[in-house]
Amino acid sequence: MLGIIGGTSLLFADLPPLEERGIATPYGKAVVHCGDICLVPRHQNTLPPHKINHRAHLAALKIMGVDRIVAFGSVGSLKVEYPPGTIIIPKDFISWGGIPTFHDTTITHVMPGFDQDLIVGLSTIHPDIKIGGTYIQTIGPRFETEAEVRALAKVADIVGMTVASEATLAAELGMKIAAVCTIDNFGNGIGDEAISYETIVAAAKEGGGRTSIILERIVQEFG
């Protein structure tokens, strides 16, 4: 079964008809919209990035029988060649923040990473999608400083606050995952526009129609 995880980038997208359910997990309750696919609203309506219960979300998807996940993420660009409005499917990720794990009581080493076959499959969903680059995760809810953006740009192309945690937990549960990242702003100090949550929401609204098309095609192709 296909699982979708989405946050700000799906605020204005048309979602498939699904039934909202509360799924109990050993890590807490998660709201999941269920039907032919399962969709987890990342922020559960109000949670900021650093308060998201990623373990409950991924455990709930596993309980519902999900074996492959597409995570939609709103990200900032670290490179001028990736301007706002770009949609990118990263091939790898870095995390400089804390990463959750299911293995708190046993020594278990898991090889994380995006599923390359899933990435190839997603590459033909929409002509605007670009494949490649590296996602780096920082700890929200604050944006990165200009100095941090310059440092991050040496090792990555886009920056977000959630997808690396989701990808790592998916690997621990044996679920394939890839990310569709909508670039909604330049990183701090790269562009001229001041960054705020309001500007990110405005960018998501502007791209809502295209995101709806991409989501619909993903559900048709992989659901």
Each residue's pLDDT expressed in tens, for the chain with a length of 223 residues: 999 999 888 888 988 899 999 999 999 999 999 999 999 999 987 889 999 999 999 999 999 999 999 999 999 999 999 999 999 999 999 997 788 999 988 888 888 999 999 999 999 999 999 999 999 999 989 999 999 999 999 999 999 999 999 999 999 999 999 999 999 999 999 988 888 888 888 888 888 999 999 999 999 998 7
Helices (H), the chain: 54-63, 116-122, 146-152, 163-172, 197-206, 208-222
Tokens read off for 187: 């990183």
Its domain, for residue 167, covers: 2-222
CB 129 within 8 A of CB 18: no
Number of separate domains in the chain: 1
Q: For 162-221, what is each residue's pLDDT tens digit?
A: 999 999 999 999 999 999 999 999 999 998 888 888 888 888 888 899 999 999 999 999
Looking up residue 145, the CATH number of its domain turns out to be 3.40.50.1580
